[in-house]
């Protein structure tokens, strides 16, 4: 590793519109805070980029100094890949522009934008693209790993709606990646994460959505979970693609429509988003209302942008988080039994297990059409360990791993790369499956020295110098 001289740092500062933060500088500690409080790292430099020129200069500086390089968008990634110890962080969070062209139904999005930023601009014109379920998530990291949410059954993955991207590669070049330009790079960034460079602009296709949708929550006691989930899996096969129903099992939060005596009790909640005609909403969700006798429900029309923020209070930054995830083709009885056993032993009031329903349009893309291959997944399961006290680390991590292992016989064996934690690098092959060899070839072409390695890494074939 090269050492940093004060002269080289001053030269870098003079070449940027943005700022450079070092340990001890005002704002440094704030800039190294990310969503998952388990990640504690101290970079040598945090380069807060204001535009593409700053990104190119920061990439060149990292390449010249041979320091570790991390890239931060929204800072929401569970594995904490936004930060590195003793190296350089390219912080894209100041680059938050979202420009919507309503007539062309296109959005041009900088890499520091969050889902909330995107929705704010697009929903002003009644438009949206499939993104995630938490408004503070960064668009960049979500998209580069695949991206799915409430609209995916109807409109596909986030990457299925990515039209083009501008990307700074390891050699400092700015390339346009699309179906017609640098098509191999475009193929790779749609699911391949940050392995190939720094995206400085995303171009998305937009679709008419909202501004109101029909949705909400139906909350049942955990004792009703087995029967409810059996009905859910039966209903899922016939649900229209403009209806998405996720389920989450946890202790009941203090939701205003639940009686106070229900708060803190084990529950299974069905979260519903219907984007068809509002007048059809009650009929569309009626089957879910019949899954069991609820503790309470809250259903009706609401702004799409508000629904995108509905789970933000349960996903605030600053908690300790550890996840384990499987892709599922169904919800067999054994998995349901395993789930109810795990909820009986929750180690923290914030821990939960959810099944995110996808399928529909996500399955109508060939597995080799882009880097993300897992088109056979009908549900993405996430074991979400979440707690506050570091003294609870071992207990909460053990619980998450225990359910993950117990549920493995019912899973497809693949995994969504954005849900991989820091200690799961060995599962990168499972994330990419049959597309891994092609990804290695693209990596070798665009980043032969593995400059962009602080991620769920795809290693080049024959790195020439540097570390991989």
Compute the mean pLDDT over every residue in the chain, rounded to the nearest whole number.
Answer: 95
Taking 50 as the threshold, does the pLDDT of residue 151 lie above it? yes
CB 233 within 8 A of CB 303: no
Query: Last residue of a domain, which of 91, 109, 127?
Result: 91
Taking 60 as the threshold, does the pLDDT of residue 403 lie above it? yes
Taking 50 as the threshold, does the pLDDT of residue 1 lie above it? no
CATH at 380: 3.40.462.20
The per-residue pLDDT for 3 is 63
Region 308-317: mean pLDDT is 92
Strand partners, 326: 381
Does one domain contain both 383 and 291? Answer: yes
Domain count of the fold of the chain: 3
- Rounded Cα distance between 428 and 436, Å, is 9
What the block records as the tokens of 302 is: 């609401």
pLDDT, tens only, 14-50: 999 999 999 999 999 999 999 999 999 999 999 999 9
Does one domain contain both 12 and 85? Answer: yes
Query: Last residue of a domain, which of 193, 208, 223?
Result: 208
pLDDT, tens only, 49-76: 999 999 999 999 999 999 999 999 999 9
The per-residue pLDDT for 4 is 84
Q: Is residue 248 part of a domain?
A: yes
Which residues constitute the domain of residue 363? 212-425
User: Between β-strands 243-251 and 266-274, what pairing exists: parallel, antiparallel or unpaired?
Assistant: antiparallel
Does one domain contain both 262 and 361? Answer: yes
CATH at 55: 3.30.43.10
The per-residue pLDDT for 425 is 84
Nearest CA among 55, 92, 60 for reference residue 76: 92
Does one domain contain both 269 and 402? Answer: yes
Nearest CA among 310, 308, 455, 315 for reference residue 384: 315
- Rounded Cα distance between 377 and 152, Å, is 12
* Total-model pTM: 0.95
Does one domain contain both 173 and 240? Answer: no
Does one domain contain both 71 and 103? Answer: no
Strand partners, 46: 21, 89
CB 268 within 8 A of CB 225: yes
For every residue of 382-414, DSSP letters joined together read EEEEEES-GGGHHHHHHHHHHHHHHHGGGS-S-
Does one domain contain both 319 and 420? Answer: yes
CATH at 136: 3.30.465.10
Q: Is residue 455 part of a domain?
A: no
Q: Is residue 452 part of a domain?
A: no
What the block records as the tokens of 4 is: 């940093």
The per-residue pLDDT for 468 is 54
The per-residue pLDDT for 464 is 54
Q: What are phi and psi of 319, to 5 degrees?
A: -90, 165
Does one domain contain both 60 and 153? Answer: no
The per-residue pLDDT for 462 is 77
């Amino acid at each position: 590793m090269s050492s940093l001289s004060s002269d080289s740092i001053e030269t870098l500062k003079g070449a940027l519109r943005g700022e450079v933060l070092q340990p001890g500088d005002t704002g440094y500690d704030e800039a190294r805070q990310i969503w998952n409080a388990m990640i504690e790292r101290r970079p040598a430099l945090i380069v807060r980029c204001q535009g593409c020129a700053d990104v190119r200069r920061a990439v060149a500086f990292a390449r010249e100094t041979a320091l570790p390089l991390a890239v931060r968008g929204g800072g929401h990634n569970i594995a904490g890949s936004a930060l590195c110890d003793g190296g350089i962080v390219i912080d894209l969070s100041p680059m938050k522009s979202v420009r919507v062209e309503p007539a062309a139904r296109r959005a041009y999005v900088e890499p520091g934008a969050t889902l909330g930023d995107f929705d704010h601009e697009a929903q002003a014109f009644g438009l949206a693209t499939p993104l995630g379920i938490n408004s503070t998530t960064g668009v960049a990291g979500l998209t580069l790993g695949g991206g799915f949410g409430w609209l995916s059954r109807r409109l596909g993955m986030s990457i299925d709606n990515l039209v083009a991207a501008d990307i700074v590669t390891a050699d400092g070049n700015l390339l346009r990646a699309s179906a017609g330009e640098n098509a191999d790079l475009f193929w790779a960034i749609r699911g391949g994460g940050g392995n190939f460079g720094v995206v400085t602009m995303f171009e998305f296709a937009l679709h008419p959505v909202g501004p109101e949708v029909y949705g909400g929550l139906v909350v049942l006691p955990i004792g009703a979970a087995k029967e409810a989930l059996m009905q859910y899996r039966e209903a899922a096969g016939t649900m229209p693609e403009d209806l998405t129903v996720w389920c989450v099992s946890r202790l009941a939060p203090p939701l205003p429509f639940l009686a106070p005596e229900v708060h803190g009790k084990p529950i299974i909640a069905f979260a519903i988003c219907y984007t068809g005609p509002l007048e059809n909403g009650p009929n569309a969700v009626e089957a879910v209302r019949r899954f069991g006798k609820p503790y309470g429900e809250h259903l009706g029309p609401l702004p799409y942008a508000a629904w995108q923020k509905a789970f933000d209070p349960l996903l605030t930054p600053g908690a300790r988080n550890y996840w384990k995830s499987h892709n599922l083709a169904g919800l067999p009885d054994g998995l349901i039994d395993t789930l109810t056993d795990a909820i009986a032993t929750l180690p923290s009031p914030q821990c939960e297990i959810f099944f995110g329903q996808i399928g529909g349009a996500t399955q109508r893309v060939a597995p080799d059409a882009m880097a993300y291959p897992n088109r056979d997944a009908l549900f993405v399961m996430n074991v979400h360990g979440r707690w506050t006290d570091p003294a609870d680390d071992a207990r909460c991590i053990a619980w998450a791993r225990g359910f993950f292992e117990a549920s493995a016989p019912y899973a497809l064996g693949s995994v969504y790369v954005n849900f991989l934690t820091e200690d799961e690098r060995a599962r990168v092959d499972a994330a990419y499956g049959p597309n891994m060899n092609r990804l290695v070839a693209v990596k070798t072409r665009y980043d032969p020295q593995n400059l962009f390695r602080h991620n769920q890494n795809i290693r080049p074939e024959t790195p020439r110098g540097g570390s991989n």
